[in-house]
Structure 1
Amino acid sequence: MNHASRTLTDALLDPILKNDPAGPRVTFYDDATGERVELSALTLANWAAKTANLLRDEFGLEPGARVTVLLPAHWQTAAVLLGAWWAGAEVVLEADADAEIALVSAQHLGDVEDVPEVAALSLDAFGRPVPDLPVGITDYATSVRVHGDQFRPTVAGPALAGKSVDDVLAAALASAESQGITGTDRVLSEEAWDSPDALIDGLVAVFAAGASLVQVTHADDAARSRRVDTEKITRQLSR
């Protein structure tokens, strides 16, 4: 695949899948619930492929379309983002009436009433659907599981908030360098992905460097030092 047609997901995942497909790539903790989920690069790629197939085959998404993503920093959000980029979509991290599709948590359904197609995520560890969804809203967990876990991308449009794949990748590599992230690092982050810069710093830069991520939500301060030891953390992110 030449550089002009390479998606951001290809740029991020291809080197990782070549070098370390089975090692831990994203480890997610929710300290409020005790949840811990760990995904290899291969498993993450399978989830991203399912998402890309959902967007293309069920919603008719074409490369260059805008996709609103209103989700917290979570392993499923990583799969959604990689899937959207694989499908050639431009991700926007705010309510956008020009978006063709929105993927949101239940509390953001009211923010995307003008978007033609909406999929809601429960973010439940066991894949339970969002209860009592309004008519016309797709439940992500129910729908995505029936789609294939391989995806063949075509071309890429803008990747993130108007920035091209090359621009986002360059920003991510620069961020990784400034944060001291290398391909051997195990990175701990409790930061949100609520803006393009935050998403680049907290997720894309980690993958661009070839590192692995331990992402924590509702962080318990008392658990932090223990987690640094048990997860063999070598780098901690902070804004």
Structure 2
Amino acid sequence: MNASDRTPADLLRSALATDPARPLVTFYDDATGERVELSVATFANWVSKTANLLQGDLAAEPGDRLALLLPAHWQSAVWLLACSSVGVSVDIGGDPARADLVVTGPDTLDAARACRGERLALALRPLGGRFPQTPDGFADYAVEVPGQGDRFAPFAPVDPNGPALAVGGTELTAAQVVERARADATDLGLTAPGARLLSGKAYDSWDGLSAGLYAPLAAGSSVVLCRNLDQLSAEGLAKRIESERVTTTA
């Protein structure tokens, strides 16, 4: 990655310029059997569309706070990078009543209704499917995002020293997220070309976010992100590590 990258969105732009075709996020849900693989280019396209939705339709601005009530999921990773692109600060599992916007999965709709700002819901169905019926008081992400533009340009420059992430009681700027991710990449062994990390950690801690997105992105490597990994047998895990060419696990 580029030494001048100061935000997670910068890291994604560098990855796109370097090798857009390589895998970035491979997602498994072992409760449903879902598998999705996103190249850098495909992931970046989702990020651009989501950032356009966030900045345009939802009128989010740099410094706004978004409560993210989502599990470890490829769409959660998209939202993290979209917020970085706009300059919106993400509060992982944050109080919706204290947020300017909330993005929620199907299991936390009641809590998310405490947000007085824009509310967006994700069904978290395979292939990014929509809700059979849109929950009252929410916009359905799967309905709103497809029509958004494929290219994104922020209305205002994103400050690397502005608030970017709150998780586990710690607040980090965008630059601090990048700095920590680079250090973690070394600690996780993501130093060789083509390194692939398998993570079954939740997105409710820095360790989970770093292993499941930020460190592989900072290292120019990729992540095999597994939800409900405890439902996979030891034999199944071994086969996945082999078939996905995993080089290290978290």
TM over 0.5: yes
Q: Which residue matches 2:32?
A: 33
**SS at structure 2 position matched to 1:155:** coil
State the secondary structure of the residue aligned to 1:159: strand
Shift of 1:197: 4.0
C-alpha distance in 1, partners of 2:150/2:85? 12
Alpha-carbon shift at residue 114 of structure 1 (Å)? 2.3
Deviations 1:138-158 (A, max 9, x none): 100000111011101332231
Alignment check: 8 A CA contact 1:93 1:196 kept: no
Query: For this pair of structures, how many residues does the alignment match?
Result: 233
Hey, what's the Cα distance between the residues in 2 that align with 1:196 and 1:173? 13
CA distance in 2 between counterparts of 1:83 and 1:135 reads 25
Q: Does 1:65 align with 2:60?
A: no
Report the alpha carbon displacement of residue 117 of structure 1 after superposing the two structures with TM: 1.2
Residue 14 of structure 2 corresponds to 15
- How far the C-alpha of 1:183 sits from its partner, in A, is 5.3
Offset, 1:86 = 0.7
CA RMSD, 1 decimal: 1.7
Displacement after TM superposition at 1:36 (Å): 1.0
Q: What residue in structure 1 maps to residue 120 of structure 2?
A: 119
Counterpart secondary structure, 2:184: helix
Query: What percent identity do the matched residue pairs reach?
Result: 43
TM-score normalised according to structure 1 size = 0.91
Contact 2:8 2:214 in 1 (8 A): no
Structure 1 stretches lacking a partner, 5+ long: none
Match of 1:143 in 2: 144
> What code does the residue aligned with 2:111 have?
D
> Are 1:224 and 2:225 an aligned pair?
no
Which residue identity is paired with 2:129?
A: R
Check 1:223–1:79 CA distance in 2 against 1; reply closer, same or farther (3 A cut).
same
Task: Please report the TM-score for the alignment, with normalisation by the length of structure 2.
Answer: 0.87
Alignment of 1:198 with 2:208, yes or no, is: yes
Report the CA distance between 1:128 and its aligned residue. 2.7
1:53 CA displacement? 0.5
CA shift for structure 1 position 121:
0.3
Match of 1:130 in 2: 131
Q: Name the counterpart of 1:158.
A: 163
2:188 is the alignment partner of 1:187: no
Partner of 2:102: helix, strand, or coil? Answer: strand
Q: Distance in 1 between matches of 2:248 and 2:198?
A: 6
The question of 1:236 aligning with 2:249 is answered yes
Instruction: Show CA shifts across 1:153-208 (max 9, x none).
Output: 33223111231111111111111122222252111111111123431243211111
Shift of the 217–135 alpha-carbon distance from structure 1 to 2, 3 Å rule, reads: closer
Residue 21 of structure 1: how far off its partner (Å): 0.5
Following the alignment from structure 1 to structure 2, what is the Cα–Cα distance between the partners of residues 84 and 15?
A: 17
- Map 1:84-103; keep pairs closer than 5 Å: 84-96=83-95, 97-103=97-103
- Partners of 2:236 and 2:7 lie apart in 1 by 37
Deviation of the 1:79 alpha carbon: 0.9
Matching residue of 1:110: 110
